[in-house]
Structure formats: C-alpha cells, structure tokens
Amino acid sequence: MCWQTVWHLYIQYQLYWLQETPDSRLLLAISALMLMTQRVSSLSLDLQEGTITSSFQNSSQDLSVLIPFLSYSLNFPALLGGPLCSFNTFVQSVRQMSVTPHLTPYLRRLTSKILQVIILVWIKYPLKELLKSITFRVNSPCVCQNIIWIWILSLLLKMNYYAHWKVSECVNNAAGIGFHGYSHSGKKSWDGFSDGSPWVTEALSRPSAFARQWNRTTAVWLRRMVFKRSNISPLFMTFLFSAWWHGLHPGQILGFIIWSVTVQGDYKMHHFLHPMLTSKWRKWLYVCLNWAFTQLTISCVVVCVELQSLESVKLLWCSYIAVLPLLSVLIIIIL
C-alpha cells in the first residue's frame, strides 16, 4: 500500500507541480498495482482468519505449495480490471473448469455479457449529446440547469465504470473463471466474479445501499479490511481508507468525505422516518424522493472523485447541488 501511495503522489507531482500529463502506461501499471494490493491484503486476511482451504495449510518444504497463492495474486485477467474474490473462491472456480465441459451455456452467457457491454457503451452517446445541449453556467438563474448537467455528467462517468466492470467479467469468463455452481433452476451460473449489475445499482433508493452495491467486490473488501476492524468511527475510516487507496487526490478526498456523511445521514434519516411509513403512498413517496436524493448526492461524489482536482469543488460550488451534502450534515447534527 505504501509503494502504491508513492506512485500516486508521483502522479500528483506530475499533474499539479509539473503540469504534465502522466504516461498512460504508468496509469495502467498503477491500476494493476491497486488491484494487486487488494488481492494480497485479502489473502493476508484469509490466512489470519484461518479460512484458507486445509490442503494449503499443511507445512511442506515443497515450493510448489506457493503456486496457488501466486496464481491468485498475479491472476492476469483480474489485474486488468478485477473483480476481487477470496482465495477459496478462486481455487474452487479453477477446479471447476473441468466440471463444465459443455460450451453452449457458457458461450450463451458470455454473449449476453458482451451485449450488455455494447448497450452500456451505446448509452454513453446520447448522454454525451444531451450534455452538449445543456450549458453549464456559473451563477445560472435556472436552479435545475446546472443540477441536471452535473447529474448527466455523473451518469456518463458511471457508464464508463459499468462497461469496464462488465468487460472484466467477460475476460474472466473467457479465461474459464467465474463459474459459480448451479442456480435453483439447475442452470449454470457464471456470476461468481461480478461487481454488480448497473440496472440494480441505479435503481437503489438509499445512499447506503448504493455504497454496498457500487463496485461490490471492492465494497466487501473495504468492509472486511477497515469497517469490521476499526474501533473509532468505522464508517468514516472506511471511506478515508478508500480515498487513500484511490490516490489521495483533493477531489477524491472530498468525494469520499461527502459519501461518508451522506451514508451516515441516510442511516439516521431512515431510522427516524421508518416508523412513520405506515401506508403505501408514504412508502412510495419516501422511495421516490430518496431515489432522487441518492442520484444527486452520488453525482456529487462521482464528479469529485473522477475530476480529482480542486476544479470539482468549484464545479459543485457553482451549483445548487452542493446543498445536498450540507443537508446530510444537517441531518446528522439534528438527529
């Protein structure tokens, strides 16, 4: 993690001090290093918790016992873009390669995921055109104009992530990894390695639920790595650690602070309002308003994290959307 941080700080030195664009090959290498950090730390937790399959726990002088651990840590498809899984899940998936000789269901599932990638990439084009048609104006008299612009920008950025995660699933499945046993209907499931469904994630009506589903395997890793092991403000420490892992850019730090405040406010608000949701129309109204609130607050987070620099702060400050994170702070104080 420290070695990864050194390279992240070097990128910031290039961006903000030298005003240079980092080499794309360096960025790809650091991305792979971030994913390797995940896998090595996950393996370390597995060893500490004693969850490693017993066949690998036997003491042996044979160095071949290290091969499964090296295969897990240096698995090439996963280092291209994830997703993360436990060591036992990886070993079981590799062992089951020979258990799935029929290619027809496998190819059908792979084709389905490729079509999803095409749809996600296609969605980006109308979003780009829509973004161009709306002008972002500082101190615009129209309250909704800048809010809609930032929301569409965040959707466009999220589509990049969704497409990337789905491509990663395809690459792992094409390598024969990701078989997850059989469903209740007896069909083979190839969703063993998945960062979640974009359609499910975008339909969520609570910021806390969105945080658990967004980049799902990384969220599980953060929960296991920090949240369950921290005695002081576990929620805040988890998001702060996530900012550290992502690169500690100013926009990233602000984005994850906003996210932690929003999630904490969501817990308090839900606990306060839940006893009052006694009728269907109240529940329906609560879900609709909370979905809109979730979309807009996550837009603040995504824009800050993706733009990385302090320009994202100026962008939010020039829009009324900045009121929403402040509203979460107010909820925490009052409730």
Catalytic residue, chosen from 164, 180, 246, 270, is 246
Please name the residue that has the structure tokens 């809609």: 148
Question: Phi/psi of residue 188, each to 5°?
Answer: -75, 135
Is 164 noted as a catalytic residue in this protein? no
| CB 67, CB 180: distance < 8 Å | no
| CB 316, CB 304: distance < 8 Å | yes
Q: Determine the Cα–Cα distance for residues 195 and 173; give it in Å rounded to an integer.
A: 14
Is 246 noted as a catalytic residue in this protein? yes
Q: Determine the Cα–Cα distance for residues 308 and 255; give it in Å rounded to an integer.
A: 9
Residue 142 token pair: 């129209």
Please name the residue that has the structure tokens 């395997």: 217
Residue 175 token pair: 């390598």
Catalytic residue, chosen from 75, 146, 172, 215, is 215
Quick one: 189 exposed, middle or buried, by C-beta within 10 A (0-12, 13-18, 19+)? Answer: middle
Per DSSP, the three-state class of 188 is strand
Q: Determine the Cα–Cα distance for residues 170 and 113; give it in Å rounded to an integer.
A: 7
| CB 69, CB 87: distance < 8 Å | yes
Count of alpha carbons within 13 Å of 231, Cβ hemisphere only? Answer: 0
Question: Phi/psi of residue 182, each to 5°?
Answer: -120, 145
Residues marked as catalytic: 215, 246
